[in-house]
Structures are given as structure tokens and as C-alpha cells.
């Protein structure tokens, strides 16, 4: 039996309990996906622009890619950084890696040198899979720099022009060699949107991820004709497995990968492909609502699943009405837990982020000593259940902080549970800016600001924004002549910081406010900025 060093297995009694209660199956993710391919061979699995891929083609291409990976000695439990945009190739590559038992590490398209090298290093990845270029950026070159810097990385596979690396092309000759995969092992690594600089690695086992997919499908997809539209990166679990693309494939439905974010074009696509479910972050819903104020929009077949950041109930109701669709508010973390709430017009509906998907899911709000608080009281949100992890990969110190001794995950969210049992997420306890669903760890950005010559102090904080929910501002103190703010943003880009972490605004300050104990007072800065904007 292979053992993955650094992976903390689920406690045995918990495994037995979840298997007995039927939450966990004795099957792997590739098993069930390949079974769906066999059952639905002539149906359309994936659509992107004019490309339409059947389940048979999905299976065939993933087999060819599996052979390619095996030819390059990628073995069960090897980690492979997968950074592809929303293309059918993402899905076929994911399935290829899953079926050979390798563990895809799902990097976001916006990740750059910093994130990618550290992800590859921490996961001990043996390979990176990237597009040649995406949105004007040379990912091939990026992956080759990871190959040069991270010892464990042996291969770079490039979708498109390989420029000296291996081309990501299926080998349609032999069948992939059979491998044994243990459903209690990690199927994939998601990335946390947490407070530390580089995302933490979230090992999702076959059993727990499948459980989450099935639970979210039961809530959101099973009663629909399953046609899912992916607008945000499918490398993020929101569009991948909540229920997202994977839930849709398990249901024999069609996953449509959008090539645009323009509302009018998306409305047409929804109509044309008869889309029944999509997941959006609040800023995108707002662009849809703006469009719906200018043209009549009616999407009666669509269930809009809104989450990743707060979407208030009044706004949700208005959006639902203007778009003529059904709507669910949804709360989810890459670590697992999901809650949801169907938005109705009923004004007695108190809203919030709803209830967990399964009766076996536990959510509790606690005080600073981890004592549970009664309904209505604000505190820290802790979660536990059959699809919520109990440890990050290779992070013993972080695990000690992030999980309680009884296995609850500390989400870092400030929340309360209302008298009717609904979760209400109020904000973050730790310093993170939720920029329209993209999580910006402020300390990391401050660290990079301090590498600019002459910067002696820096503070990054969120300011409210009508579209994104929050935008990122940076205040910097310099002991040399001030450059133009653009120079600082360019510096951050050149240091390899992910695109979404670049501050929206850089302001020069004489000094930064500090709390009585000398800590940076980001709240004061945020309040000051909000005050300045209000004037
Ligand atoms: P990620 O792991 O990137 O999905 O980020 C998870 C975090 O996103 C949570 O801990 C929350 O801070 C935030 N989040 C997700 N959904 C919601 C929601 N519906 N309302 C408020 N915050 C949310």
C-alpha cells in the first residue's frame, strides 16, 4: 500500500461511521466519472464555444492523456500542478490524472510565480500542466521557471505550443495501465482562500469529495435537467464540485464553459444551451442586474447559485426578480462545508447563508474560548462533517491552529446562527480582503510592498465596493521620493504576485495608524477611507 507522506488520514472511527451511515461510498472519483462516461457515451458532456465533446470523447481523450502521463512516469499519489483555464482540456486532463491515481493540485489561472513555485514545492509536485498562453500571459515560461526552481518538478506539459517542454497531447495508442486507487486517499488538492500568503493545500479524498458533490447535487441539481454553466475558474471548487462541473457529469448532464463574462452574451448562451444551474460571485450577479435594468431579462429555467462572498437578502430578492430566475444563497469553503438557502420573495424570510447540506454536517458559533454561543450571538464559525477536511497537507503548525482537537475546522469567519437555525456570515475574523470571491491575504501583499525600494511601512485593507463587495487599498510610507503609484503595482506584478492580489489603489501616507499595542490598525484605515469616500 502506498502512503502519502504529510497526508493526515481521517480518524478510523470517523471513516467507519461515515461508511456505515451511507455518507461515504467505497468508490473513487474516477470510477464514478468513468461509469458516467460509459452510461452516457453519446450525450454531450462539455460545450465551449463551437466545441461539443461527448462523454465517449471525454473518456477517450482522458485515456490518451493518462497514457501520456504514464509514459512520463507519473504514478499514483504523485502530485501534479494543474493550471489550465476553463476549457474541455481542463476536464479531460483532470480525469486523466484522477484515473492514473495522480493528485491534481488545482492552481487558479491568476496564480503567478510566487504561488506556483510554493504550491509545487509544498505539494512535492512532479509536474506542472499549463496552457502555452492565457490572456496574454506566458504560462509555459512560468512553468519552466517552476521546473528550474523546484527540485521535485521533473516535467512541464504545455497545452498548445510546447516551446521545448512536452506537449499536452493524448496518446491514442494503448490503454492506460491499470492502477489501484484507494478511496480513502486524496483525489485532488484544492487551495485554501485563507489568510496565509500562499494558499494551503486542501487534500480532498475520493470519499469526502464525492460526498460533497452528491450532497450539493441533491440540493441544487438533481431535480433539474442538468446543464451547468461555468463562468468562474473551474479550478475553484465552487464551479468544480459544489455541484459544478463534476456534479453535472455524474448526473449525465452537460457542462458549458463560458468564453465570455459579458452578461448579454451569457444570457444568450443560457437560452441556447438551456442552462439550468450556474454559480456566480456577487460582483458578477451585479453586472447581470445592471444589464437587466437596461433590457428585459427572463431566465425561468435557471437556478442561480450565488456565493463565495456575502450577498444580502434584499439584493438577492431584487436580483432574482429582475433576472426572472430561481436563486440560492450559498456558503462554501474549499475545506468542505457548504450551506445553502433558497431565495424566495417571502418577506418573512430572514435569509442569510442557510443550513448545511447534510444532517451529519455540524456548524457551531463559539466564543474566544471555543464555548458554543446561543442563537443570535456573534462568534467564530467552526464546522465539521463528512466532506469537511480535518487537516491540511504538510502543515502541522497551521493544522494545530486551524482545527480543534475534536476535528472542527476554524473557518476564520465571524458568524451567528439565527433562532431558526440559519447561518449568517458577518465577515472575516482574520485579515483577508474578499475581493468579489477572490481572497487577498493582506499580510502577504504588505510583505511584497515592503520589498519596493524606499517603502518602510505598508498596510493593505479592504474598502466597501458596490460591485466587488470589497476592493483592496494599500497605504505605503516611504523614506525616499515617492514614485507614481503605478510603479508600485508593476513592482508587485514583477515579484510574481497573483493578478487579483494587486491593490486597486495605492496611496502614500506619512505614517500608518497603530493600535495601543503597536499593531497595524487596518480597521482605522478602512474607516478613514470609507469616510473620505463618503465626503
Ligand atoms: P474559499 O475557500 O476560497 O471558497 O473561501 C471561503 C471563504 O469565502 C469563507 O470562509 C468565507 O469567508 C467566504 N464566503 C464563502 N461564501 C460566502 C457567503 N455566502 N457569504 C459570505 N462569505 C462567504
Q: Which of 283, 267, 354 is nearest to 313 (CA)?
A: 354
Residues β-bridged to residue 441: 432
Instruction: Give the chain's domains with CATH numbers.
Output: 12-206 (3.40.50.980), 211-428 (3.40.50.12780), 436-534 (3.30.300.30)
Q: What is the pLDDT of residue 535?
A: 46
The CA angle 331-380-278, to the nearest 5 degrees, is 5
310 within ligand 1 shell (Cβ under 6 A): yes
331 within ligand 1 shell (Cβ under 6 A): yes
446 within ligand 1 shell (Cβ under 6 A): no
Distance 239 CA to ligand 1 centre (A): 14
The rounded distance, in Å, linking the Cα atoms of 215 and 337 is 11
Q: Which atom of ligand 1 is nearest to the CA of 334?
A: 2
Distance 364 CA to ligand 1 centre (A): 16
Q: Which atom of ligand 1 is nearest to the CA of 330?
A: 19
Distance 194 CA to ligand 1 centre (A): 10
The rounded distance, in Å, linking the Cα atoms of 410 and 366 is 10
Distance 255 CA to ligand 1 centre (A): 23
Q: From start to end of 209-315, where are the E strands?
A: 227-230, 254-257, 277-280, 303-307
Query: To test ligand 1's pocket by mutation, which of 239, 241, 332, 426 has the most ligand atoms within 8 angstroms of CB?
Result: 332
Give pLDDT tens digits for 466-517: 889 899 999 999 989 999 889 999 999 998 899 999 999 999 999 988 876 6
Query: To test ligand 1's pocket by mutation, which of 413, 435, 441 has the most ligand atoms within 8 angstroms of CB?
Result: 413
- Going by CA atoms, what residue is nearest to atom 7 of ligand 1? 333
Provide CB contacts within 8 A for 11, sequence distance 6+: 390, 407
The rounded distance, in Å, linking the Cα atoms of 316 and 336 is 24
> CB 466: neighbour CB atoms within 10 A?
8
- Going by CA atoms, what residue is nearest to atom 9 of ligand 1? 333
Q: Which of 120, 194, 230 is nearest to 438 (CA)?
A: 194
155 within ligand 1 shell (Cβ under 6 A): no
- What's the distance, Cα to Cα, between the start and end of the chain in Å? 65
Angle between helices 29-39 and 55-71 (to 10 degrees): 140
The rounded distance, in Å, linking the Cα atoms of 33 and 252 is 9
Q: Is there a contact between 322 and 302 (Cβ–Cβ < 8 Å)?
A: no
Q: Is there a contact between 75 and 175 (Cβ–Cβ < 8 Å)?
A: no
205 within ligand 1 shell (Cβ under 6 A): no
Q: Which atom of ligand 1 is nearest to the CA of 306?
A: 19
Q: What is the pLDDT of residue 348?
A: 60
Q: What is the pLDDT of residue 532?
A: 67
The rounded distance, in Å, linking the Cα atoms of 138 and 130 is 9
Q: What is the pLDDT of residue 526?
A: 84
The rounded distance, in Å, linking the Cα atoms of 181 and 55 is 22
- Going by CA atoms, what residue is nearest to atom 3 of ligand 1? 193
Mean pLDDT, the chain, integer: 93
Distance 333 CA to ligand 1 centre (A): 6
Q: Is there a contact between 92 and 58 (Cβ–Cβ < 8 Å)?
A: yes
Distance 50 CA to ligand 1 centre (A): 33
> CB 368: neighbour CB atoms within 10 A?
8
The pairing of strands 326-332 and 303-307 is parallel
- Going by CA atoms, what residue is nearest to atom 22 of ligand 1? 309
The rounded distance, in Å, linking the Cα atoms of 143 and 145 is 5
Torsion of CA 275, 278, 282, 285, to 10 degrees: 0
The rounded distance, in Å, linking the Cα atoms of 266 and 290 is 14
Distance 59 CA to ligand 1 centre (A): 33
Give pLDDT tens digits for 151-210: 999 999 999 999 999 999 999 989 999 999 999 999 999 998 765 567 899 999 999 999
For residue 11, give the DSSP letter: P
Query: How far, CA to CA in Å, does 487 sit from each of 227, 349, 376, 483, 504?
Result: 45, 49, 47, 6, 13
What's the whole-model pTM score? 0.91
Distance 430 CA to ligand 1 centre (A): 13
In the block, cell 437555525 appears at 421
Ranges of residues in the chain with a pLDDT under 70 are: 194-197, 346-351, 516-518, 532-535
Q: What is the pLDDT of residue 25?
A: 96
In the block, cell 512535492 appears at 124
Amino acid at each position: 500500500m502506498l502512503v502519502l507522506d504529510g497526508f493526515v488520514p481521517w480518524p478510523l472511527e470517523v471513516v467507519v461511521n461515515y461508511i456505515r451511515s451511507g455518507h461515504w461510498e467505497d468508490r473513487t472519483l474516477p470510477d464514478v466519472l468513468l461509469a458516467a462516461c460509459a452510461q452516457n457515451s453519446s450525450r454531450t458532456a462539455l460545450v465551449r464555444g463551437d466545441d461539443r465533446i461527448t462523454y465517449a470523447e471525454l473518456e477517450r481523450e482522458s485515456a490518451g492523456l493518462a497514457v501520456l502521463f504514464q509514459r512520463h512516469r507519473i504514478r499514483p499519489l504523485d502530485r501534479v500542478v494543474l493550471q489550465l483555464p476553463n476549457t474541455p482540456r481542463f476536464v479531460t486532463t483532470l480525469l486523466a490524472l484522477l484515473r492514473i491515481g495522480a493528485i491534481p493540485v488545482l492552481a487558479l489561472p491568476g496564480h503567478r510565480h510566487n504561488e506556483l513555485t510554493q504550491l509545487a514545492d509544498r505539494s512535492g509536485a512532479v509536474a506542472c500542466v499549463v496552457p502555452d498562453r492565457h490572456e496574454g500571459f506566458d504560462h509555459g515560461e512560468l512553468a519552466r521557471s517552476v521546473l528550474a526552481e523546484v527540485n521535485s518538478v521533473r516535467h512541464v506539459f504545455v497545452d498548445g505550443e510546447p516551446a521545448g517542454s512536452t506537449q499536452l497531447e493524448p496518446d491514442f495508442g494503448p490503454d492506460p495501465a491499470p492502477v489501484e486507487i484507494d478511496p480513502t486517499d486524496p483525489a485532488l488538492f484544492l487551495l485554501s482562500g485563507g489568510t496565509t500568503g500562499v494558499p494551503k493545500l486542501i487534500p480532498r479524498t475520493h470519499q469526502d469529495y464525492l460526498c460533497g458533490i452528491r450532497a450539493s447535487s441533491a440540493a441544487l441539481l438533481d431535480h433539474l435537467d442538468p446543464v451547468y454553466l461555468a463562468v468562474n475558474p473551474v479550478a475553484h471548487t465552487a464551479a468544480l464540485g459544489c455541484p459544478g462541473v463534476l456534479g453535472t457529469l455524474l448526473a449525465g448532464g452537460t457542462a458549458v464553459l463560458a468564453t465570455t463574462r459579458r452578461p448579454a452574451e451569457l444570457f444568450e448562451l443560457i437560452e441556447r444551451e438551456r442552462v439550468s444551474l450556474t454559480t456566480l460571485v456577487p460582483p458578477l450577479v451585479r453586472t447581470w442586474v445592471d444589464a437587466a435594468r437596461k433590457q428585459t431579462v427572463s431566465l425561468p429555467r435557471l437556478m442561480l447559485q450565488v456565493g463565495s462572498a456575502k450577498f444580502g437578502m434584499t439584493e438577492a430578492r431584487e436580483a432574482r426578480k429582475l433576472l426572472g430566475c430561481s436563486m440560492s444563497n450559498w456558503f462554501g469553503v474549499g475545506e468542505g462545508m457548504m450551506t445553502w438557502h433558497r431565495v424566495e420573495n417571502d418577506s418573512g424570510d430572514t435569509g442569510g447563508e442557510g443550513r448545511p447540506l447534510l444532517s451529519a454536517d455540524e456548524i457551531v458559533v463559539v466564543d474566544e474560548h471555543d464555548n458554543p454561543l446561543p442563537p443570535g450571538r456573534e462568534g467564530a464559525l467552526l464546522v465539521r462533517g463528512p466532506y469537511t477536511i480535518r487537516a491540511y497537507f504538510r502543515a502541522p503548525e497551521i493544522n494545530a491552529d486551524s482545527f480543534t482537537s475534536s476535528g472542527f475546522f476554524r473557518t476564520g469567519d465571524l458568524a451567528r446562527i439565527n433562532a431558526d437555525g440559519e447561518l449568517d456570515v458577518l465577515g472575516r475574523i482574520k485579515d483577508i480582503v474578499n475581493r468579489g470571491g477572490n481572497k487577498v491575504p493582506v499580510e502577504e501583499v504588505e510583505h511584497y510592498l515592503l520589498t519596493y525600494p524606499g517603502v518602510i511601512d505598508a498596510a493593505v485593507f479592504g474598502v466597501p465596493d458596490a460591485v466587488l463587495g470589497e476592493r483592496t487599498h494599500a497605504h505605503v510610507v516611504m523614506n525616499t521620493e515617492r514614485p507614481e503609484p503605478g510603479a508600485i503595482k508593476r513592482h508587485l506584478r514583477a515579484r510574481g504576485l497573483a493578478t487579483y492580489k494587486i491593490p486597486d489603489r495605492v496611496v502614500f501616507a506619512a505614517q500608518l495608524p497603530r493600535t495601543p499595542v503597536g499593531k497595524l490598525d487596518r480597521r482605522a484605515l478602512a474607516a478613514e477611507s470609507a469616510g473620505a469616500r463618503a465626503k
